[in-house]
Amino acid sequence: MKINLGQLIFIKIIVVYLYSLKPNKMIVEKQTKSMVEIDLTGEQGNVFNLIGTGMNYCRQLGLNQKDFFNEMTKGDYENSVKVFDKHFGHFVKLLR
């Protein structure tokens, strides 16, 4: 069987096309959230919830819970939100 030049070029084009297709992967990597989100307009935004969540984070991160609690309860709600953001803003996103 002889293959002429036109057939050889056609075969090469098909092979290049087939190699350019990416296989359908069945296993995909899990998408991870980079930040925890707390909605301040809902139940999560309650100051008592922020204090409790912050105390939990302090315990997990080895921070002083008493100092955090005292700082959170020094002022009004806005102060508590600022204190929470100061301590955990690098991994918690507060939504208004």
pLDDT, one tens digit per residue, over 25-61 is: 666 677 777 789 999 999 999 999 999 999 999 999 9
Whether residue 10 lies inside any domain: the answer is no
Q: Kindly report whether the global pTM for this prediction surpasses the value 0.75.
A: no
- Full residue range of the structural domain in which residue 67 is found: 36-95
Residue 82 has pLDDT above 70, yes or no: yes
Residue 56 lies in a domain: yes
In a domain, 31, yes or no: no
Element (H, E) at 82: helix 77-88
Q: Is residue 70 part of a domain?
A: yes
54 vs 13: which has the higher pLDDT: 54
Per-residue pLDDT at 79: 97
Number of domains in the chain: 1
Share of the chain above pLDDT 90, in %: 64
Q: Is 26 part of a structural domain of the chain?
A: no
Note whether residue 8 is domain-resident. Answer: no
Residue 50 lies in a domain: yes
Q: Is residue 24 part of a domain?
A: no
Greatest CA separation for the chain: 91
Residues in the chain: 96
For residue 13, give both structure tokens: 């084009």
